[in-house]
Chain A
């Protein structure tokens, strides 16, 4: 079955630096991969979706890459701010059911002022 791995250790960075989070997966290649942000006590918020035929996608200070050979996605936040502190979740579609997602456990990011 599909397995997703995200850095279990929290990431602490200084304000203004670039945060890079990793999502690795095994087995089949998904049709797309998504990144979400979750704050304590709240539901996840959709950030970006990247498809298997896309290498990179950007949205404001966010950038996602998708390497289907390495089976890895990198999520970058440039010029990070304390307000970016949250848990970031990676999600993939299930083979044969594009609307059903399997989720990573998330990586906690803390941006220090």
Chain B
């Protein structure tokens, strides 16, 4: 059973460009979470999605950030018009569909660098 896949692993963007981060959850998982982590800082919740639905986006900046999890294909975190402050590691996690399956399985992360 393949783990959570994220790509790209490293992404370099110039200020003003768009960044698209992809996440494929583990098989049998329909709950997806996106987190952001800065060096020496903790994981910051951004958004929680289920297939085709955004359940909680309270951690997402109101502007420039969006997320989706379509019926087919990976979940996408999209950052428009990136700024230097967006440079961080972005982690995706998924959790099982079964009742009480609250543990989260993380991907390797995408390290975004904005120049």
Contacts and interface: CB of A to CB of B under 8 A. Distances in A.
* Most chain B beta-carbon contacts within 10 A, residue among A41, A44, A98, A104: A44
B103 A43 contact: no
A27 interface: no
Contacts of B91: 43-44
Interface in A66-103: 89, 93, 97-103
How many chain B residues sit at the interface, stated as a range, is 20 to 34
Contact of B103 (A49, A97, A103, A105): A49
Interface in B49-100: 55-56, 91, 93, 95
A97 B31 CA distance: 13
A102 B4 CA distance: 20
A43 B102 contact: no
Interface residues of A, number: 21
B41 A43 contact: no
Q: How would you classify the secondary structure of chain B's contact residues: helix, strand, loop or mixed?
A: strand
B1 to A, nearest CB: 14
A6 to B, nearest CB: 9
B102 A32 contact: yes
Given A34-B104, A43-B91, A102-B45, 10 more contacts: A34-B103, A42-B108, A42-B109, A43-B107, A43-B109, A44-B104, A89-B43, A98-B102, A100-B45, A101-B104
Nearest to B42: A105
Contacts of A43: 4, 91, 93, 106-109
8 contacts: A41-B109, A43-B93, A46-B105, A49-B102, A93-B102, A100-B45, A100-B56, A105-B42
